[in-house]
Amino acid sequence: MKTLLRWFLLLFVLSVILAVVVFMLENQQSVIITFAGWSSVEVSVSSCLIVALLVGMAIGPVLGFALRYRRGVRGNRKFS
């Protein structure tokens, strides 16, 4: 049973990698991002979107942990 689950996990990971590669190959248009007076160099659309995805994936859990920690500390003060 464990071997079957490992094969399914491997198949899933390879599918995700293939989807990312196809996405990057299909979105090769160059863009310049301008935000708050700051301009980037020319990069592909797919690079911008993947970087935004990774930054969001990093920030989301950190904010979630901070909110849970804050509720825990606040909750402890009420009962003590």
Domain ranges of the chain: 2-79
* 10-63 pLDDT, tens digit each: 999 999 889 988 888 888 888 888 888 888 888 888 888 888 888 988 998 899
Rounded CA gap, 47 and 40, in Å? 12
Report the pLDDT value the prediction gives residue 18, as an integer from 0 to 100: 92
Q: Is the model's pLDDT at 76 over the cut of 80?
A: no
Q: Give the distance between the most distant pair of CA atoms in the chain.
A: 59
DSSP secondary structure letter of residue 33:
-
Phi, psi dihedrals of residue 41, rounded to the nearest 5°: -80, 170
3-state secondary structure of 25: helix
Report the pLDDT value the prediction gives residue 46, as an integer from 0 to 100: 85
Report the pLDDT value the prediction gives residue 69, as an integer from 0 to 100: 81
Chain-centroid distance of CA 39 in Å reads: 23
Q: Is the model's pLDDT at 79 over the cut of 60?
A: no
What single-letter amino acid sits at 8? F
Report the pLDDT value the prediction gives residue 29, as an integer from 0 to 100: 87
Alpha helices in 1-80 (DSSP H): 2-26, 45-79
* pTM attached to this predicted model: 0.56
